[in-house]
Amino acid sequence: MVEDATAPIENVAELQLGKEFQDIHILSNAQVAVILQASAGYAVSRDEELNDVYRKVQRYVNRFTSMTNPEKEHQEVVDELDNLQDALTAFRKETEDGDEQELHPAEVAALMNLVATDTMVEEAVALIPSLSRFPEAAIDEILDIIRSTIIRIVS
């Protein structure tokens, strides 16, 4: 693989996404599943064919989302996911200097994709290195928020 030598160094572990990606809205797999489901219904009703890439992505997100429950009302799951994303985006922690730290959208999406009910702080930091700027207690709090949402959705 060849990275253009003049391009800015991209490293999501340090939350450097590149200057073109500063104003994007990042989604977790579960949210993508919701969007695609709605879009698929719409296309089918207009008798359009879904393209290959679309179907592959749909298969992928349906397999790898920990936050789904076919027995639950679709809208309920959507609401839980939105609440979770709001809760994570609104998460603030005061550091010792009195500054406030918050979660970057990339971290929010990664957390929603990778964390399961039994994920511990150590694993979360290994998978999402940029979380190490938070104290352990704060990360535990974050994992707790996600854990309770997963339990609510799956039960």
Partner 1 sequence: MFYVKTLSHEIVLEPVHFGQKLRATLVRLLKEQVEGLALANYGYVVNVIEVPEDQIKSGVIEYDTGSVIFTVQYTALLLRPFIHEVLDAVVSQCNPLGFFAFVGPLRIFVSKHSMPEDMFNGFDGEKDAWISDDKEVVIASGSGVRLKIKGRTVEQGNITAIGTIKDNYLGLIDDGEAQGPV
Count of residues of this chain found to bind partner 1 when the rule CB under 8 A is applied: 51
x/- letters, 72..111, toward partner 1 (CB under 8 A):
----------------------------------x--xx-
Distance of closest approach, residue 26 Cβ to partner 1, in angstroms? 5
**Alpha carbons 116 and 85: distance in angstroms, whole number:** 15
Distance of closest approach, residue 97 Cβ to partner 1, in angstroms? 27
- Which helix (DSSP H) or strand (DSSP E) does residue 43 occupy? helix 29-45
Reduce the DSSP state of residue 93 to 3 states and report it: strand
* Straight-line distance from the first to the last Cα atom of the chain, in angstroms, rounded to the nearest whole number: 44
Of 34, 68, 80, 103, the one binding partner 1 (CB under 8 A) is 68
Phi-psi region of 61 (alpha: psi -120 to 50; beta: other; left: phi over 0): alpha
Of 34, 113, 138, 146, the one binding partner 1 (CB under 8 A) is 113
**Alpha carbons 11 and 98: distance in angstroms, whole number:** 27
Binding-site ranges for partner 1 (CB under 8 A) = 1-3, 10-14, 17, 20-21, 23-29, 31-32, 35-36, 39, 51-54, 56-57, 59-61, 63-69, 106, 109-110, 113-114, 116, 123, 126-129, 154
